[in-house]
A and B are shown apart, each in its own frame.
Chain A
């Protein structure tokens, strides 16, 4: 009889204990560095504030300083007609009106050299939904940025995926090169790459499209390639034995297998680009982000609220649509 000298590994041993202690030590050290105690402190304070034990807290002070100004959202525009070029009062923009308002003007009296205020009537052109319209136009621009970026990403990622799949790359050098490009594209965050794209393509949507497109091409290239590598080998062997070339095998034996995953990746990229497209405007990439940044810098929090609400609604609607689309494209298998 063969002696069975194999023992089951115990669930943990001294190595496990050392490892756990080490992890705890690192966590404590790191928590100090990044200010976790500060977070705990302030959350404790604000909870005392909420239950009424304490009068104030730093969190509520900080947020309440702008909370009052964030409501209501601003949806109208109001412009001094003297500042509008070629103003034509007989031909007002749709659904707008002229409002007469008294404004305080401050002027230095040249004789007394003192600041004097006087009231003056100024005519304003009011468009009740003017700002909402502007925000919507900017949001549409962001959506366009997201779509174009995803489209460019798809186009770039197809050859990248083919050459990054070990079993389809023509040789090791090309495989390595392609993998490097894929990693490189994903390594640079969009918020950084858009700064370079602004230098290359100027401020505006083009810079945003390129920044988002290249980053998501890296993402799609990687995941497309990995699915190709992991695809069931059997049908590929069968077609290979029939004398089929690589791209034919890829199209007929691999693509049908990986398609549902690919659709999911593309929808995810669209979703992600939509959210990122609102952000990259902050650093010059066009779209609603530019508007958001401008209003924030001018402390116009009412406008900020409008923008955030519109972004929320758009993202929500897109979520619904993409869930439906996903179900339709990859849901049932009958």
Chain B
């Protein structure tokens, strides 16, 4: 018996099989970044681990070293000052969902957080992990077949094959083709940060750099992030004038990824009704966040009302030529979700300001 009266056990036998990776939990930032630099291309950051461990199970990632952030301190703060909202990368998705500060300034972020996975995921998942998560595709890392079965089918492009084997017309793939992989962008917080035009502070042994998120998601399924870099925080600047934002998502299971999701934000002129700038970012339809400029330009410079929102939403993805049943459905989803997100933004605008 120990001092507090509870019984004490020692279970000695360590499991016999070999570990798939070596786990490190550095206690200082210097040690952390050194480990990443030294093991470039072989090490992966594990923040919440809710994506990384799934990727390892699915054999989409096979890092030799897993470097945990669990002992790093000070990266989980939500801070609002006069010109910006800063969110540390290790802030949990649950904390973002629950934060009054965020909800009162940029509700699109807390709404997006609320839509992610299940509570069990949100309790451990982090902002940094969410925006840096691997792309999702049934042919690559999302199927329920075991490794044995996967080895019996042709590998997809991402898994070392020669071509993308994803179907052309599918609910879980892109509508707008860019590049040769059809896996869509599904990070809900990435989408919200995209529509807010935020920026990321990224650090490594080489120092710190600041990257606008639109540049971070620069290419189809690619991020502006080196293997030894750590996203430290996201910053959303406050423009002074009235701004409002909202999020809408369609998913097929309660804890599933977006089939389509829309993050929208509107910046008003001083008259509080004319739109100076509109920002509509759509997930699930392209390999990176899709910016609906066709709708944004219809809103800008005009007084916002229900009719204008409906009209702008109808213009979304109009230029997509090749459509099957699934793609057409996704396009109509994008339009109705954009309408819902913009309407939410207008309503929140009243509360926020």
A is bound by B? no
